[in-house]
Amino acid sequence: MPEQEARFCAKTYTKPEILELTKKILLIPDLYNEVEKYIKAQEPDRQTQLKKLKRHAYQKWHTDINKNPQAEFYAKCIAEALDIFELITKEPERFTDPINRTVKYPEEEPEIPITEMQEKLRNAIDEILQKAEKTTETIEIDKSILYSEIIEEEQQSRIYDVSLYALIFYGIIGSFILEILKQNILHYPVAFIYYTLIFICTISIIPFSRYWLFKKIPYLEDIQLTIINIGSFLFQKFMNWVALKLANKAKTSKSPLLLPAILLYWWIRLLLFIFGLIMFVLYEIALKIAGTKTFKSLKKQQTFYDGVADWYIYEIISKQETELTEQEKDIIWYFYKKYI
């Protein structure tokens, strides 16, 4: 297996590909902040964070299985992606190239078994690293995602439609309930709930709102998605029920109210279509404004000895011979030949 490749979800990928897949499966565009939050949190909060990532990924990919050909694969890989995320928080350097320059390996064949070389290197590793050329670099762990990519994803998922449907549903139902409770003691608490729902649905229509508001406050994104999904679902069920009733009435009834009802129904549909066009234009403008702006990259200071990362040297001199790649054997032979 070529160096820096590994098995992930029953397939072979390079380490950077596994990193990108993990971000995709767990819906983590801002890896830097997600990792920082995990590192700074106490153990109970870390478990809560992992459960939240798992829940969001499950809701996304299991819902999209019939729409997205990749969704079924992503849904099966959620558990492995969570393991990779935890590894990223502990050893992010494992997802970068452990060699930062061309190493000139000895041309002759090794004189002794590889296991014997490993043992001698382990015994003399401190002295070897003192002699080797030491360099320190800031390495970028992940390829930072563009803001524009997130806006495109929101545009494709049409979250603004879902938010508008929820806004209409809560707006109509809430106004009726408030009118009924006008003189009742429950009027003010119900009004508070009503305006909170309207506010969340309205803000959700704005491009990128999930990332500049809802993801910044613990649990607020869960509340937002639950509110807009329920409202959208009920609104569409209601509209489908109305369409079915009007279709049946059109066949059997000659009521003078039927035509205005049909016109009102299609007027609402037309308004929704116009709204969709307006939001498409607004999202295109948001894409232009976002430009090449990216989330903050996850970086780490890495020490190299003769061009090989320190953690990688320790790893390969401790591996079983059967686990070593040809490149790793060459590195062992290089350090043995030069320093032993």
Q: Would you call 196 helix, strand, or coil by DSSP?
A: helix
Which residues contact residue 220 at a Cβ distance below 8 angstroms, ignoring those fewer than 6 apart?
Answer: 213, 214
Q: What is the pLDDT of residue 1?
A: 37
Residues of the chain with pLDDT under 50: 1-2
User: Considering the entire predicted model, what is its pTM?
Assistant: 0.65
| Count of helices and strands (H, E) across the chain | 15, 5
H or E element at residue 289: helix 258-290
Q: What is the pLDDT of residue 85?
A: 94
Dist. CA 25–CA 9, nearest whole Å: 12
Q: Are 327 and 120 in contact (CB under 8 A)?
A: no
The residue extents of the domains of the chain are: 1-90, 99-145+294-340, 147-290
DSSP 3-state percent helix, strand, coil across the chain (nearest 5):
70, 10, 25
H or E element at residue 334: helix 326-339
Dist. CA 241–CA 234, nearest whole Å: 10
Q: Are 283 and 155 in contact (CB under 8 A)?
A: yes
What are the angstrom distances between the C-alpha of 249 and each of 207, 252, 259? 40, 5, 10
Q: Are 84 and 77 in contact (CB under 8 A)?
A: no
Q: What is the pLDDT of residue 255?
A: 67
Which residues contact residue 161 at a Cβ distance below 8 angstroms, ignoring those fewer than 6 apart?
Answer: 232, 272, 276, 279
Q: Are 31 and 44 in contact (CB under 8 A)?
A: no
Q: What is the pLDDT of residue 254?
A: 66
What are the angstrom distances between the C-alpha of 108 and each of 104, 330, 331? 12, 11, 13
Dist. CA 303–CA 134, nearest whole Å: 7
Dist. CA 135–CA 129, nearest whole Å: 11
Q: What is the pLDDT of residue 67?
A: 64
For residue range 214-267, what is the model confidence (pLDDT) as tens digits? 666 667 777 888 898 899 999 888 888 888 877 777 667 666 666 777 787 788
Q: Would you call 86 helix, strand, or coil by DSSP?
A: helix
Q: What is the pLDDT of residue 109?
A: 77
